[in-house]
Structure 1
């Protein structure tokens, strides 16, 4: 246990008050509303929802405001709140083939069936500060894409029809739930995907980048990247069928990877897969790259010893809440531990200098 410091309770209360004052900032500046955060900082909101494993833009906006913009702290708040919610059941798997796409691109087919929609993206913008935004000017309305409300088939299905990409048969066995049971190794692919979608974006990005630099020989093409809304359905026992209970925004990425074949599989393309709440395309692409690297064993490939191929390394370090807790606990009081270490170092120094007392030398 930590030893209570005299006056500690009052100091903590003062720290809370100071934090609230710093969070508010200059009272002369209008306070941020949750609606402003939700609508104008939507990519931050999406990250908090994805890594917090809770789809609720309003709560994510509240967490960002409470955390003063520290997204990992906001994710921590959402995770903690999520544990208080009752579990009513499980939804049926969402049909991303029926997604109403706001953005849909492919790096493998120029004339993709169904067309390509660039959508709201930074890809084609200049990385220059836009000082017009500082003037609070009006923003012209964007044209509505024709594809927006039309279901669109997956591009990889066309490769599948030709037998050129590995088939991914559906499993009748329900996947494990990482939010209810701790991770065990080796983890199957559904659990790995759950861990990656909840994982820290920066860490997953770093792992994905390592595969592109040669660690795991994972040369991938973006077969398809899509962002849009899908319906969420749930089986109602009293009715005997599923009903739609709402819709959510998702980013989905399927990568197409080279595969020379193995003793059991012919030469063909294989897939990596990423699925994330909201518009989070960097995370979805990175997730797909790491997912593919982690599949080396089931595909009969060689273990190159690459970090991204080691599921225990990747999955045990991807969670930023676990990492933050373990890292930040060292700034809390460790007086007893340190005094013990301090006395040991003093004793070793005296021993090295030949100045030990008889009683100490006998110990």
Structure 2
């Protein structure tokens, strides 16, 4: 930490007070409550939970309020708070087959078993500003849908039956936890997916878009996109069985990709996968596309030199907190460093001028 002049602490305290005043805004306007942010800015809350690696809508809403809507700052707050929490154990893998789906669509199977459920989506809106919202108008309530009583099977299972898609290899070992151990390369798929789930949505979206534009030859179909609630279970040693400890909303995306085969694999479809906290379908789809692009080596494909195929480039640069910290540190005082650079430039200019003068004299 640099201290440039006396009175630095007083200036920082004043900056904090000014920040609090700016955060509150016009006091004649009612203050936003955490509950209002949680309920009415749910997609922002979901992003903070996903990239902060902590499923807690109330804390995510509080972080958004504290950060004045700066989602990366809110994610930073959530990650910092997360490090203070005790860890009692790990939950079992969630069963997305048993998801109570609010939304479930497929771009590959029109008559998908269980049906298409559009759910709450912007897909079919006209993208016109609704001035009724500015006038605080009431929004009509949607008709209540009756959720299916049975589990909703994954559509990929129907391709599995015909042996048309690459089989997934389930690992017996518990994957490493990226929130507790630093990222090491080469990373296995489980670690890559963790990194992508925590990665910046904009960065992952840009990488995914690049694959669709030809940088990785990665044409994909959305086999299934589902959003809903899943139970979280934990094994209790004293009881000898698992119990529900809560539930959470997740978004899951599976893509099916063309694959002509390689020296090690036959022609078949391959998969991309994304799973994110909350309703975050843009992130889940992007994650699935990048996941597939990063699998080129294990599938025996050629390295096309595409950015989305470069594991080191993608995983080391997708984390917005790490990127923000490194980028924003350059605005802190660097007086000593700059003075040395300044003296070096002055010296080089003097030497260059002396050389010019000497050449002119000769």
Aligned partner of 1:333 in structure 2 is 333
Deviation, structure 1 residue 146: 3.1
Moved more, 225-234 or 128-137: 128-137
Matches within 5 A, 1:71-110: 71-110=71-110
Aligned partner of 1:239 in structure 2 is 239
Cα deviation 1:84-141 (Å, max 9, x = unaligned): 0011111000000000000000000111111000000000001110001111122222
Contact 1:101 1:151 in 2 (8 A): no
Matches within 5 A, 1:41-120: 41-120=41-120
2: distance between equivalents of 1:145 and 1:169?
36
- TM-score relative to the length of structure 2: 0.97
In structure 2, runs of 5+ residues without a counterpart are 357-362
2: distance between equivalents of 1:341 and 1:148?
68
Contact 1:193 1:291 in 2 (8 A): yes
Deviation, structure 1 residue 148: 5.6
Moved more, 222-231 or 255-264: 255-264
Matches within 5 A, 1:1-363: 1-147=1-147, 150-354=150-354
Deviation, structure 1 residue 147: 3.3
SS of the aligned residue for 1:353 comes to helix
2: distance between equivalents of 1:315 and 1:118?
33
Contact 1:105 1:118 in 2 (8 A): yes
Moved more, 135-144 or 176-185: 135-144
2: distance between equivalents of 1:201 and 1:145?
30
SS of the aligned residue for 1:350 comes to helix
2: distance between equivalents of 1:52 and 1:172?
27
1: distance between equivalents of 2:55 and 2:148?
22
Contact 2:4 2:333 in 1 (8 A): no
1: distance between equivalents of 2:59 and 2:218?
37
Contact 1:101 1:150 in 2 (8 A): no
Cα deviation 1:149-183 (Å, max 9, x = unaligned): 64200001011011111111311111111011101
Aligned partner of 1:361 in structure 2 is none
SS of the aligned residue for 1:218 comes to coil
Cα deviation 1:203-249 (Å, max 9, x = unaligned): 00000000000000000000000000000000111111111000000
In structure 1, runs of 5+ residues without a counterpart are 357-363
